Amino acid sequence: MNAVALSLHSPGALAGALRAGGVEAGDADSVASGATPCAVRFTGLGQPTLEALARHAGKLGLDLATGDDWAIVAGSRARLSTLAQPFRVPAELAELALALGSALPHEPATAWEVARGTLRLDRPLIAGILNLTPDSFSDGGNLTSLDVALRHAEQLVQDGARMLDVGGESTRPGRTAVVPDDEELRRVLPVIERLAAEFPGVTVAIDTVKASVAKAALDAGAAVVNDVSGLRFDPEMAPVVARAGAGLVLMHSRGEHLELSSYAHARYDDGVVGAVLGELRAGIDAAVAAGIPLAAVAVDPGLGFGKTTAHSLALLDQLRAFLALGRPVYLGPSRKRFLGEVSGRAVAERDGLTAVACALAWERGARIFRVHDVRQAADALALATALEPSSPPA
């Protein structure tokens, strides 16, 4: 007899072992997903709910820890899914069952609809950064002409970028003024027009919070709007995205233009993950209500935007929770302040750390990665995807 433990930090090893034993791929993936461990934290629970949960959780084989008004329920995803059925649990648990159903993570999205077609997400989608600004925190002033920007874009594509994220306004900490619309357009439009013409197989995203800039960029060939305000700043942004059939990156942030990268609103009394999840869910609802198809929305937890280093690390670690939103998870860790604070590295020395963050994020369910150094990120993500076994471990 021989016994080998199967790591269940992701369902790949179990699925591979089942397929090797003759189980059909779809059934193997379903069983492996159901066996994956999961824990959910509830707050604001009344005594009747806590008592009913204590009685019922044991019957389902779930582990339970409780306090005055909270509970943590843990077990396999399949057993938790049984608890998430409001018509099959005691009446005192119906509301909890609904909340659990909305909190359980989905499988990572495999596609994203944008203006120029469907982007596949069964492999990492890397967005190379083109900062056309004089004052960005790590590379401001580097792309000083159209030709230099195009050469840099060509290198990003050669290194593995399937998307180019073009920005004409910095969101760096400490900035003191908002860039006028006409200046932002002057910076980005010539580049977007040439990118659309010279790289027809590459998706172009416009990074802006201004509807006028987004519309002009989409008309010039961009297919995605990356709005770091999460549709909060410009009421015309959502209609512009909807009319163009564009993809939308809905990023979490707080505060006004000049506060985005500060700690002015970095207070999350009940935990940063739950707060960001709730605010992104509200943003998705607003986008859909404005006519943007759900399939066009990707979500970004906004590492470093109104978050301390501890907040950003918690979000990176708990990214799988954002799969409950049912949308692709987009991540921008590149050269961020939190990477410097955990390593002591200067901005220019953080590309290796960025690549590690991308690999960890892939394992936790992120599928789209916005980075400065595409080659290092692509190498790290190649290793991360290779560690998803299709056969049992040796």
Asked whether the beta carbons of 304 and 261 are under 8 A apart, the reply is: yes
In terms of DSSP H, where are the helices of the chain? 12-20, 25-35, 47-59, 77-83, 94-103, 146-159, 181-198, 211-220, 237-244, 272-289, 309-317, 337-343, 351-363, 374-386
31 burial (CB, 10 Å; 0-12 / 13-18 / 19+) is middle
**Measured between alpha carbons, how far is 59 from 82 in angstroms, rounded to an integer?**
11
Query: Parallel, antiparallel, or unpaired for β 247-251 and 297-300?
Result: parallel
Task: Write the DSSP string, 12-26.
Answer: HHHHHHHHHTT--HH
Task: Enumerate the active-site residues.
Answer: 336, 370
Give the Cα separation of 98 and 86 in Å (integer): 6
Residue 70, SS3 per DSSP = strand
Contacts with 319 (C-beta within 8 Å, 6 or more apart), sequence order: 301, 329, 331, 361, 364, 365, 366
Report which of 175, 243, 182, 245 is spatially closest to residue 208, judged by C-alpha positions.
Answer: 182
CB 331 within 8 A of CB 355: no
Q: How far apart are the first and last CA of the chain?
A: 16
For residue 86 the two structure tokens come to: 């409001």
β-strand partners of 71: 42, 66
User: Which stretch of DSSP H or E encloses residue 117?
Assistant: strand 117-120
CA distance 307 to 246: 28
